[in-house]
Structures are given as C-alpha cells and as structure tokens.
C-alpha cells in the first residue's frame, strides 16, 4: 500500500467521523442541490443538451491536435503569445521567465485550478514574488494556508463563523461580523492590489479554436479586474479545455453555470482574444496563454478512459457523491477531488501512487447521472481498477486472495466443502478488523442454499 493510500485512509476516517465537518459540507451542498435543481428545470430538454455536449467534446478530443494548432494560429495573429508546457516544472519556469523579463514583483490571480495543479503560488513566493488570490473563497483558504476544498467552492468546508473568526484574527474585524461585512473587508484589502500588481494570472474555462480566445466564467468580477489593470495577463489552461467554435458557448456556458451553481448564467462571462488592440481603451499590453499538458496526453492515450478529458469542472459529481459528502475534499490530497479527480489523477500523476482513489467509490452511479457532458465516471473507475491490476500494482496478498476467492465462487462443490460455522469463524476472524470495524458481520447459514434445496426437494 502506497504512502498516499495510507494518508487517504487515515484522513478519510478522521473526516467521516467529524460530525461538525459533515454538518457544514452537507449544509452547503444541500444549498447547492436546491439551486441546481431549480436551474436545471429551465432546460427544455436537458438530456438532449447533455448528449450534444458529449458529442462536441468527443469530436474535439479526438481531433485535439488540430484544434490546438488552430487556436494558436488565431491567438498569435492578434498579438498573443502561446507557450506549450509539457509538465508543471516547465510551466512554472516559463511563467517565472515572464516575470523576470518584466522585472515583476507582484501578481494578482483569479480562481484557477490549473495554477493550483502546478502549485504556482508557492513557486513564485519562493522567488520573492507576491502571489495574491483574489477570489474570495481562494483568498480565505490562502489566509489559512490550505488548498481549495472544492473545485468550484474553495472554502465550502468553512462556516460563516469560521471565516469571521479568521478575519478577526488576521484583520481585527468584529468576531460576530456578518458575511456582508466580511466581503466588504476583503474588497477593501484587495482593491488596491489590482492597481499595483505587475502581472495578472487567470485560468480558462474554455479555449475557442476558431477565434483564438480564452473564456472566463466567474461571479465576483475579480478575474476582470485581474486582467484589466496589470500590464501583463497570463492564462494557464489545460489543453483539454478547447472548444471548436464560439458558437458552442451557448450550450456550454449554461451547462456549466446550472450544474455548478444553479444559475442560468454566471454573473461575469468574459472572452479574451489577445492583448489590448490600438483602438481599445483597456486591457493588458501583453497576453500569454500557457497550454498545460502535465499528464493529459497520458489520459488521451487511453482510448476507453479519455472521456475524463471532457470534464468542464462544474463540480456536480462532487456534490452528488456520497463519499465526497462524508470525507470532504482535503482527504483526497489532489488538486481535483471527488469522482472526477479519482478517474483523472491516476493518469495525470501516476497510477501506482493514486490507484486507491478509484476504489473510493460506492459505484452508485450518481456522478455519471449528474455529469453535464455525460461522462461515464463510474465506468472509468472500474477501468482504472482493471488497469491497476493489469499493471501488477496490487499487493501479492490481494492478488492471491482474489484468486482463491474466484476459484471458490465458481465451483459449488468447493463452496460447500466448508460448513457455515467455519465460514462465519473465518469471516469474523480474518475480515473482522477491516470489514467489521464499523458493523456487526452476519452469521452465515450452516447449510448453503443448494444444500437446503436438495434436502427439501430431493434433487439439485
């Protein structure tokens, strides 16, 4: 068992029995569920929209090389610069080079999971650069020294009382401050940073091949401020975020907003197509797009599992997953938690270290049911488990255990060789510590069903 697996099991158990933690996340997810239900009701034919989105993403991922080159051509034609990054180290170094060229010492960053993936903040701070999160949820977890808890709602695990206490300790605000007062304080602290920052960094919800554009979706306006005032804008985007055309946004923007937060459309939707043009009043003087691979082509190479690249990061599968709702986001110790993280992380960061995530599932299928682009997530979990076994990543004891289990289950005479009392003894003694820690294991009948049938009917 890997170190990551041990940590996951320990953290999962700790959080699963932390009743206050469960109360908070179930309360917050419950509010999202109610909003999402209302939002989805606005679709005339939701299933048709999901099928259409699946087909668009299928066509895009199957022709990913073509669309990425088309994006680069159209983006550079408008004065933008594209950087291809094979991994996190390369992406960080390229971004640092931009900072050095501009002698930049500070940056403001809007919410971005790709920059979390490459741990950009810590890297820049280690090189003497001030890295400030401007999304309120991201700013809160940055103050706490934590990683985002949820891919849409970074501070979902905190109550308003927790945040009031944090602001009281950090900034001296009243201990009983209301959410409105806390928001105003955060705005007061952040506003001047937009004006003084040398560089603004964002992620990207979608890339548009036909216009060479980066699309951003947000509810606070911080991404627009982060890209308007600084002279340089850097967007760090995964290569899978590409869409063929700007006309696809009328499908994907509503799907993202309704499944993510229940809104018909998020408050701010921006399209960036390069640096400020001569006839424009605002915007950066230079704009870069870092196209991040970082293991995505490993997933692309898996014909059966490349569906994982269709994900639009709405967070619906996290909100629906019974495992996530009990153990929370930090237990996964990955950038992408929940069901979607469980299927893509083993390919992005290595099957050997993260195969255990594909077992953190009840296989209820709720994740697949709520996915706006119809990814068969529960099937992908099983395929990852299969691959882990085929790559001989399971322990010898596990392999031999399942080998004898299969042999016994496939032969009735072998199953009946041992009586029910011995089966009960074996079950409770061998599996008591693992399967029986939180439940009473059942007593097995003294005779099997087939033996009882013969006894009652005189024939098999």
Mark which of 294, 322, 339 sits at the end of a domain. Answer: 294
Distance of CA 13 to CAs 300, 330, 436, Å? 33, 12, 14
Dihedral angle of Cα 123, 124, 126, 127, to the nearest 10 degrees: 130
Nearest CA-CA partner of 379 in 364, 392, 394:
364
A 10 A CB-CB count for 108 gives 27
Mark which of 294, 309, 338 sits at the end of a domain. Answer: 294
Helix/strand/coil (H/E/C) assignment for every residue in 404-458? HHHHHHHCHHHHCCCCHHHHHHHHHHHCCCCCCCCCCCCCCCCCCHHHHHHHHHC
pLDDT digits (tens, 9 = 90+) for 80-102: 999 999 999 999 999 999 999 99
- Read off the pTM: 0.91
The chain-wide mean pLDDT, for the chain, equals 93
Residues 8 and 360 sit within 8 Å (Cβ to Cβ)? yes
Looking at residue 198, its pLDDT comes to 96
In a domain, 423, yes or no: yes
Q: Residue 118: which pLDDT band, with cuts at 50, 70 and 90?
A: very high
Can you give the length of the chain in residues? 460
Q: Residue 440: which pLDDT band, with cuts at 50, 70 and 90?
A: confident
* 215 and 71 belong to one structural domain: yes
Distance of CA 309 to CAs 10, 73, 114, 199, 290, Å? 30, 23, 14, 29, 18
Looking at residue 1, its pLDDT comes to 56
Domain span at 133 = 42-294
Looking at residue 212, its pLDDT comes to 97
Give the mean model confidence (pLDDT) for residues 379-389.
94
In a domain, 323, yes or no: no
Integer Cα distance of 191 and 176 in angstroms: 24
In a domain, 103, yes or no: yes
* 275 and 408 belong to one structural domain: no
pLDDT at 363 over 80: yes
The strand pair at 130-133 and 232-238 is best described as unpaired
In a domain, 130, yes or no: yes
Sheet holding 213-218, edge to edge: 242-243, 206-208, 213-218, 268-272
Looking at residue 414, its pLDDT comes to 76
The strand pair at 206-208 and 242-243 is best described as parallel
Residues 367 and 323 sit within 8 Å (Cβ to Cβ)? no
Over the range 122-150, which residues count as b (16 or more CB within 10 Å of their CB) and which as e?
A: ebbeeeebbbbbbbbbbbbbbbeeebbbb
In a domain, 67, yes or no: yes
The strand pair at 268-272 and 213-218 is best described as antiparallel
pLDDT at 194 over 60: yes
* 247 and 118 belong to one structural domain: yes
Name the 3-class secondary structure at 159.
Answer: coil
In a domain, 47, yes or no: yes
Looking at residue 84, its pLDDT comes to 98
Question: What's the farthest any 2 CA atoms get from each other in the chain?
Answer: 94
pLDDT digits (tens, 9 = 90+) for 395-422: 887 888 788 878 878 887 777 777 777 7
In a domain, 219, yes or no: yes
Q: Residue 366: which pLDDT band, with cuts at 50, 70 and 90?
A: very high
How far is C-alpha 380 from the chain's CA centre? 15
Q: Total domain count for the chain? A: 2
pLDDT digits (tens, 9 = 90+) for 321-342: 999 999 999 999 999 999 999 9
* 288 and 422 belong to one structural domain: no
Q: Residue 156: which pLDDT band, with cuts at 50, 70 and 90?
A: very high
A 10 A CB-CB count for 396 gives 8
In a domain, 383, yes or no: no
CATH of the domain at 122: 3.40.50.10420
Mark which of 268, 294, 320 sits at the end of a domain. Answer: 294
* Least trusted range by pLDDT, from 155-164, 353-362, 397-406: 397-406
């Amino acid at each position: 068992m890997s170190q990551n697996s041990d940590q996951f099991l320990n953290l999962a158990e700790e959080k699963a029995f932390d009743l206050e933690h469960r109360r908070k996340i179930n309360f917050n997810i419950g509010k999202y569920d109610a909003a999402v239900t209302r939002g989805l009701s606005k679709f005339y034919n939701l299933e048709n929209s999901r099928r259409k989105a699946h087909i668009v993403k299928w066509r895009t991922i199957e022709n990913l090389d073509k669309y990425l080159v088309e994006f680069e051509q159209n983006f550079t034609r408008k004065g933008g610069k594209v950087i291809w990054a094979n991994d996190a180290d390369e992406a960080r170094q390229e971004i640092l080079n931009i900072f050095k060229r501009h002698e930049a010492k500070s940056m403001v960053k809007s919410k971005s999971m790709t920059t979390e993936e490459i741990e950009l903040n810590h890297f820049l701070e280690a090189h003497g650069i001030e890295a400030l999160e401007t999304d309120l949820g991201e700013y809160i977890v940055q103050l706490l020294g934590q990683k985002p808890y949820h891919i849409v709602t970074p501070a979902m695990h905190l109550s308003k009382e927790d945040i009031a206490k944090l602001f009281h300790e950090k900034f001296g605000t009243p201990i009983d401050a209301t959410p409105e007062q806390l928001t105003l304080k955060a705005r007061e602290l952040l506003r001047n940073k937009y004006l003084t920052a040398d560089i603004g960094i964002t992620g990207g919800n979608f890339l548009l091949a036909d216009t060479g554009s980066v699309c951003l979706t947000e509810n606070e306006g911080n991404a627009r401020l982060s890209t308007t005032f600084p002279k340089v804008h850097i967007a760090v985007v995964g290569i899978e975020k590409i869409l063929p055309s700007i006309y696809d946004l009328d499908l994907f923007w509503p799907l993202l907003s309704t499944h993510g937060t229940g809104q018909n459309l998020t408050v701010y939707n921006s399209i960036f197509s390069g640096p400020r043009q001569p006839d424009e009043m605002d915007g950066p003087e230079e704009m870069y797009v870092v196209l991040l691979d970082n293991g995505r082509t490993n997933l692309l190479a898996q014909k059966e599992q490349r569906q994982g690249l269709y994900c639009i990061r709405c967070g619906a599968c996290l909100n629906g997953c019974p495992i996530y709702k009990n153990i929370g986001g930090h237990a996964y110790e990955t950038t992408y938690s929940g069901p979607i993280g469980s299927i893509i992380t083993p390919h992005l960061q290595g099957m050997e270290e993260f195969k255990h995530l594909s077992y953190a599932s009840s296989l209820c299928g709720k994740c697949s049911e709520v996915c706006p682009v119809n990814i068969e997530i529960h099937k992908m979990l099983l395929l990852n488990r299969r691959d882990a076994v085929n790559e001989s990543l399971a322990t010898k004891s596990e392999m031999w255990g399942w080998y004898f289990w299969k042999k016994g289950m496939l032969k009735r005479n072998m199953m009946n060789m041992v009586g029910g009392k011995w089966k009960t003894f074996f079950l409770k003694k061998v599996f008591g510590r693992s399967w029986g820690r939180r439940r009473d294991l059942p007593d097995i009948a003294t005779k099997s069903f087939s033996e009882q049938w013969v006894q009652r009917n005189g024939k098999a």
